[in-house]
Amino acid sequence: MDRHPDLGSIWDWGRGYPVLIAAGGIAALGQAPWGLWPLTLLALGFGVARLGLTNASRRAFFQSLALGFGYFAVALHWIFEPFLVDVARHGWMAPFAVILMALGGGLFWAVGIALVRWLGRDQLRLFAICCGLMLGEMARSFLFTGFPWALLGHIWIETLVAQAAAWGGPHALTAITLLIVLGLSARSVLGAALAVILGFAMGFVADVQDAEFAQDDAPIVRLVQPNAEQHLKWEPGYAEAFFDRAVALTASGAVPDLVIWPETSLMYPLESEGARQQVAAASRGAPTIVGALRTEGQTFYNTLAVIGADGSVMDRYDKSHLVPFGEYIPFITLLGRLGVFDLTQGWTYGSGTGAQTVDIPGFGPALPAICYEYIFADEMNAAAERANVMIFITNDAWFGNYAGPEQHLMQARLRAIEQRLPALRAANTGISAIIDARGGIRASLALNQEGVVDAPLPAALEPSLYVRFGDWPIGLCFLVALGALTAAPRWKRIDPGNTRQ
């Protein structure tokens, strides 16, 4: 029979693939904007238990794929939004994008589970499935340039458990999630409860161990949110109006100590001295960070630049982790021959040299990231110099008005927790936010609003364990778990009753 002997009939009804797809979809409701993390634990616990009933490896693969497909179809449903900016040209791609993204995420889960179950053979099956999910989540964070969006551990970002990321990063949160899921799938209420308590205890200890530095007379930061709609952003007439709007917002009210504009908010090339002079005049002596396109020969760069009081470029950073098929085309020669086109309308960006700090007068070194880049926790650790603050500029108008911008904001909060640094996030259409070093939002401006955010810069904390050691500790723990799982069948072959003295 296709049944695991240790599981009761309570899970037995969920044999069909539609049930597993539905379970995966429910599990995704722990992600922003819903935040229903208990549903993630329960639905994923059910899904893992159902997978544990399956002996046939081929069926287990496709059932794992179904569970993952449901999860990613809901969690990443917003991925169709960029294709609706120019509906006539790209709208037909939208449903394919959602389906392919869901299948891609599901494949990481299915391959991870299949591989770990093969290593562990037929013992400790539920533990093997959870290890397979962990492997799948880690693999999709790094392979093929990585896409660590809507990781299972992200369900904790608005809870105390998230503070444990200061010790082990996003994958530590995923490990906590899967420990709870393991207890639920094995119908061990005590085990699941202990894992929940462990997660909150780790978060509590990580939170209270950091004493906030005293920061008298904290500098005032202004985030500018011009609210430029993406389908109009570069249209003649509108582009100039959006730039003038950002200039007016910068020049309004009291003079701040630092002004930050969103990604590509400078409608003119960075080389335009007249545009930089306008920005400097509006900032009234305060340094201003702008997002702009920079040209070097025939190459465009998506750049963050620090503009001084005289309009000069004091420092800059070129985006280095580009969006596949959005900012560059993998295998572009082959795809061109096949007639495939992309959102970049035939041209791609050049890539910067990697993570680095920029110097801001009065603030010291700052760690910049442009849009998509800061979803990569490991890359935020790659800068050689410790920063005092993180600067995130983005244009979330591509992501629609619901889940996409909310999930992107959550990642900014998680990076602040991991780095124990404040994060200043300027977004074209929102959500702009000033985030403290524990991931709390001190001030923000909602989606689709024009305005500014003025608030004191939160204090930085001591570098976290994650800053010092990165993903190595959680990776080592995972390898130990895999080793134990691989050795378990050998241990179970020993029959004490047949041993000789």
Q: Is residue 88 part of a domain?
A: yes
Q: Are residues 233 and 146 in the same domain?
A: no
Q: Are residues 386 and 482 in the same domain?
A: no
3-state secondary structure of 222: strand
pLDDT score at 121: 61
Determine contact, residues 133/113, Cβ cutoff 8 Å.
yes
Q: Are residues 400 and 439 in the same domain?
A: yes
Q: Is residue 364 part of a domain?
A: yes
Q: Are residues 292 and 440 in the same domain?
A: yes
Q: Are residues 353 and 445 in the same domain?
A: yes
Q: Extract the tokens encoding 311.
A: 């309009």
Tell me the pLDDT of the chain averaged across its residues.
86
Q: Is residue 494 part of a domain?
A: no
pLDDT score at 2: 45
Q: Are residues 189 and 274 in the same domain?
A: no
3-state secondary structure of 328: strand
pLDDT tens track for 375-429:
999 999 888 899 999 999 999 888 888 899 999 999 999 999 999 999 999 999 9
pLDDT score at 323: 82
Domain count, the chain: 2
Q: Is residue 482 part of a domain?
A: yes
Determine contact, residues 428/263, Cβ cutoff 8 Å.
yes
124 closest CA partner among 475, 494, 492, 474: 492
Which residues are known to be catalytic?
263, 319, 371
Q: Are residues 339 and 306 in the same domain?
A: yes
Q: Is residue 496 part of a domain?
A: no
Q: Is 499 exposed, middle or buried (0-12, 13-18, 19+ CB in 10 A)?
A: exposed
The answer for residues whose C-beta is within 8 angstroms of residue 450's C-beta and 6 or more apart is 225, 226, 227, 245, 249
Spatial distance between the Cα atoms of 176 and 334, rounded to a whole number of angstroms: 42
Predicted TM-score (pTM) of this structure? 0.89
Determine contact, residues 257/286, Cβ cutoff 8 Å.
yes
Q: Are residues 352 and 324 in the same domain?
A: yes
Q: Are residues 31 and 77 in the same domain?
A: yes
Q: Is residue 501 part of a domain?
A: no
Strand partners, 365: 359
Q: Is residue 200 part of a domain?
A: yes
- The CATH number of the domain holding residue 419 is 3.60.110.10
Q: Is residue 314 part of a domain?
A: yes
Exposure string for 253-276, b = 16+ CB within 10 A, e = fewer: eeebbbbbbbbbbbbbebeeeebb
Q: Are residues 424 and 290 in the same domain?
A: yes
- Domain holding 245, by residue range, is 220-463
Collect the ranges in the chain with pLDDT lower than 50: 1-14, 342-345, 491-501
Spatial distance between the Cα atoms of 152 and 31, rounded to a whole number of angstroms: 8
